[in-house]
Copies of this chain bind each other. A is one copy, B any other.
Amino acid sequence: MTSSTTAPVLRTDYQKAVAEYWDYERDPVNLRLGEIDGLYHHHYGIGDYDPRVLDAPAPARDDTIIEEMHRLETAQADFLLDHVGDIGPSARLLDAGSGRGGTSVIAHSRFGCQVDGVTISEAQVAFANDQAERRGIDDAVRFHYRNMLDSGFEAGSMRGLWTNESTMYVDLFELFAEFARLLAHGGRYVCITGCSHDVTGGRTKAVSRIDEHYTCNIHPRSHYFKALAANNLVPINVIDLTTATIPYWELRAQSPVATGIEEAFLTAYREGSFHYLLIAADRV
């Protein structure tokens, strides 16, 4: 790891606004689920939920639903990591846009290797490092206050890296140029993201509402493949997870931690203007 990057972590007003949002975010949909087992996710879930959780008796119902949502989110992180490839304990991985660190912790427990996470929220860095310390894995799992567009790690140092719903905050060409720099030859990049669907055309009202809610900038699917092609990242697996993620949103809409954005996601997925996608690509 290079010891210093002279450029400021936050380059634009937009990045400052995003950082501030996450520094002050205390959304129960993220915190209460994380409290279950200490895996704090900032992403959505996949797979069918058990419909019986909706009929759980009143005192436990909320917790039961939340546990089920957490199970689906963890399943998503596991699914993402299924595509990182063969990773030995001496490899090194990067979690780009690491949030409160959940995926990094799972990756370490699975592969036994060093994992670095970067995020532009200092609060998330502190939270995630604290979690790593509690688990006694802070020698191997470290979170950094850095911009994933300019992460400061050495060229070719990473065997794998992923973005778990963090690409909608940045320009993909800039991002994938940095990823191409970071990955060793033959290294693997895995992306899970929501993206708009070029076939239906421009961003619909539902998609713009999601953009507004998270101060994010959802990209069309085509941009991902153009930016990969321009940066020596070659897909080996592409999976449409849209059908797999809808149940999560249906459950979340009925949960005690619904934030109000659920309807926009469900509308966007159902009208076909929005996809939930996994891309795994090799650095060549």
Contact = CB atoms under 8 A, between A and B. Distances in A.
Interface of A: 7, 11-15, 17-18, 156, 169-170, 185-186, 198-205, 208-209, 211-212, 215-217, 221-222, 225-226, 228-230, 232, 234-240, 271-273, 275, 282-284
Contact of A205 (B7, B205, B215, B222): B215
A202 B217 CA distance: 7
Contact of A14 (B201, B221, B226): B201
Given A185-B12, A209-B212, A212-B212, A225 B235 contact: yes
Which applies to chain A's interface (DSSP): helix, strand, loop or mixed?
Answer: mixed
Tallying the copies of this chain within the complex gives: 6
A22 to B, nearest CB: 14
A122 to B, nearest CB: 18
14 contacts: A11-B201, A12-B185, A13-B204, A14-B201, A14-B203, A14-B273, A15-B201, A198-B282, A208-B209, A211-B212, A221-B236, A222-B232, A236-B238, A236-B240
